[in-house]
A and B are shown apart, each in its own frame.
Chain A
Amino acid sequence: MRALKFFIVMSAVAISFGAGAVNLKSGKADLKSAGPLAFGPEGILFAGDSAGASLIALDTGDRTPAKSTGSFEIKGINRKIAALLGTAPDQILIQDVAVNPISKNVYLSVSRGRGPDAIPVILRADASGKISELALDDIKHSSVSLPDAPGAETKDARGQSHRMETITHMAFVNGNVIVAGLSNEEFSSSLRSIPYPFQQAGKGTSVEIYHGSHGRFETNAPVRTFVPFTVDNEPQILAAYTCTPLVKIPVSELKPGNKVKGTTIAELGNHNRPLDMIVYRKNGRDYILMANSSRGVMKLPLDGIGKFEPITSQTEIKGVPYETIAGLKGVQHLDRFNEANALMLTDNAGSLDLQTVPLP
Chain B
Amino acid sequence: MLGSYTVESDSLTFRPRFPAMPGVATRAVFHVPGGADVKAVFEPARKQPAASTRVEHVYPSGGVLPANQLKFYVHFSAPMARGDAWKHIHLVNEGGAPVDLPFLEIDQELWDRQNRRLTILFDPGRIKRGVLPREQAGAAIEAGKQYALAIDRDWLDASGSPLREPFRKTFRVVPEYRAALDPKAWRIATPAAGTAGPLALDFPKPMDHALLARVIQVIGARGPVPGKIAIDREETQWRFVPDEPWKAGEYRLQVDRSLEDLAGNHIGRAFDVDTFDTVSKHLERTTVSLPFRIGQQ
**Are A219 and B128 interface neighbours, CB within 8 A?**
yes
Number of interface residues of A (CB under 8 A): 71
Check if A244 sits within 8 Å of B125, measured CB to CB. yes
Query: Which residue of chain A is the closest to B24 with respect to CB atoms?
Result: A88
A275 to B108, CA, bound (A): 10
Given contacts A157-B229, A216-B130, A317-B132, contact A86 B121 (CB under 8 A): no
Task: Check B137 against A270 for contact (C-beta < 8 Å).
Answer: yes
List residues of A whose CB falls within 8 A of some B CB. 35, 50-51, 83-88, 91, 93, 95, 111-112, 114-119, 133, 152, 156-158, 160-164, 166, 168, 182-188, 208, 211-222, 224, 242-245, 257, 259, 267-273, 275, 293-294, 317, 319
Taken together as a complex, chains A and B put the C-alpha atoms of A182 and B283 apart, in Å, by 19
Q: Kindly provide the distance from the CB of B131 to the nearest chain A CB, expressed in whole angstroms.
A: 5
A244 near B115: Cβ-Cβ < 8 Å:
no
Residues of B within 8 Å of A91, CB to CB, are: 21
Shortest 9 CB-CB distances between A and B: which pairs?
A115-B158, A213-B130, A114-B81, A156-B214, A270-B133, A162-B112, A269-B132, A243-B125, A184-B110
Does B111 sit within 8 A of A, measured CB to CB? Answer: yes
Q: Which residues of B contact A184 (CB under 8 A)?
A: 110-112, 117, 119, 210
| Residues in chain A near residue B18, CB distance under 8 A | 85-87, 112, 119
Chain A residues whose CB sits within 8 angstroms of the CB of B104 once the complex forms = 242
Q: How far is the CB of B187 from chain A (nearest CB, A)?
A: 20
A-B contact count (CB 8 A): 204
* Closest A residue by C-beta to B229: A157
- Nearest-Cβ distance from residue B235 to partner chain A, whole angstroms: 14
Q: Do A270 and B125 touch (CB < 8 A)?
A: yes
Asked whether B132 lies within 8 Å of A319 as measured between CB atoms, the reply is yes
B132 engages A93 (CB within 8 Å) = no
On chain A, the residues within 8 Å of B112 by CB distance are: 161-164, 184
Interface segment, B28-36, B90-98, B198-206, B267-275?
A: B267-275
Would you call B133 and A244 a contact (CB within 8 A)?
yes
Q: Do A115 and B129 touch across chains, with their CB atoms under 8 A apart?
A: no
Is the CB–CB distance between A164 and B111 below 8 Å?
Answer: yes
Chain A residues contacting B87 (CB-CB under 8 Å) are none
Known: A157-B214, A244-B133. A35 touches B108 (CB 8 A): yes
Can you list 9 A-B pairs, Cβ within 8 angstroms, ordered by A?
Answer: A85-B17, A87-B24, A116-B113, A213-B128, A218-B273, A221-B124, A244-B132, A267-B132, A319-B136
- For residue B105, CB closer than 8 A to chain A, the reply is yes
Q: How far is the CB of A138 from chain B (nearest CB, A)?
A: 14
Q: Does B281 contact A (CB under 8 A)?
A: yes
Known: A184-B119, A242-B104, A259-B283. A164 touches B131 (CB 8 A): no
The docked-state distance in angstroms from the alpha carbon of A83 to that of B228 is 49
A319 vs B89: C-alpha distance when bound (angstroms): 29
Cβ contacts under 8 Å, A95 to chain B = 108
Beyond A87-B18, A243-B128, whether A115 also contacts B107 by CB under 8 A is no
Decide yes or no whether B50 CB sits under 8 A from chain A: no
Nearest Cβ on chain A to B98's Cβ, whole angstroms: 15
Interface residues of B in 49-89 (CB under 8 A from A): 70-71, 79-83
Closest approach, in angstroms, between the C-beta of B137 and any C-beta of chain A? Answer: 4
With A168-B108, A271-B101 already in contact, the answer to whether A213 and B131 are too (CB < 8 A) is: yes
Cβ of B249 within 8 Å of any chain A Cβ, yes or no, is: no
Residues on B with C-beta less than 8 A from A182 are 106, 110
- 13 additional contacts, CB 8 Å, given A86-B20, A244-B133? A84-B1, A85-B2, A156-B210, A157-B227, A185-B119, A187-B124, A216-B276, A218-B272, A218-B279, A244-B125, A268-B132, A272-B125, A319-B136
Collect the chain B residues with CB atoms within 8 Å of residue A213's CB. Answer: 128-131
CB within 8 A of B79: which of A86, A115, A161, A217?
A115
